[in-house]
Amino acid sequence: MPLIRSAGNGAGQVVDDPWTLVGDDEPLPENGPVIVTLARWQQDRESLIASGRPLGVRLASDQLAGTIAGDLPHLSLIALEFPSFRDGRAYSTARQLRDRYGFRGELRAVGNVLRDQLLFMHRCGFDAFEVPGADAAAAFARALGEFSVFYQPASDQRLPATRLRPLRSAAE
């Protein structure tokens, strides 16, 4: 599935994914960054850290950010699952990881990631998206450009309309 990153080198473009998702019963590849489930992380935490490779954890929508809060210094990536477009729990988890726990690694949206949700995912702190379709980069660009003003604050640090109005009045 195409991977789009919203920051860094190649922002907004489809990029190669160096990460390997490893199942709970699968052996780890010889080298390279790996993503494991929360269950595998909890079971093999010490040996994974000792491997010295970049590590990521994939959280299901019903798994809470606080479960891995103490392990964030060891993690380079957290993949949050969207099992359906109606399940928005990963939005809250993303905000908690960014704002409450200060996670600065890659936050990836996986699963049922729809074009209509990309902007809101980005505002919650996601900076990588597994999106279906051949025109993933164009869809991402359109999604981020749809709105220029927002009413609520978010992890993307854009000023909400309530803060922009006084600034506009002062400038006039």
Average pLDDT over residues 42-63: 96
Q: Domain 3-171, what fold?
A: TIM Barrel (3.20.20)
**Model-level pTM greater than 0.75?**
yes
CA 150, 107, 66, 61 torsion-angle sign: positive
**Alpha helices for the chain (secondary structure H):** 38-50, 89-95, 118-124, 136-145, 161-171
pLDDT at 161 over 70: no
The whole-number pLDDT of residue 15 equals 82
- What is the rounded CA–CA span in Å between residue 163 and residue 172? 15
Average pLDDT over residues 26-50: 95
**Two structure tokens written together for 146:** 């749809």
Give the least confident one: 46-50, 82-86, 161-165.
161-165
The whole-number pLDDT of residue 50 equals 95
Between 168 and 128, whose confidence is greater? 128
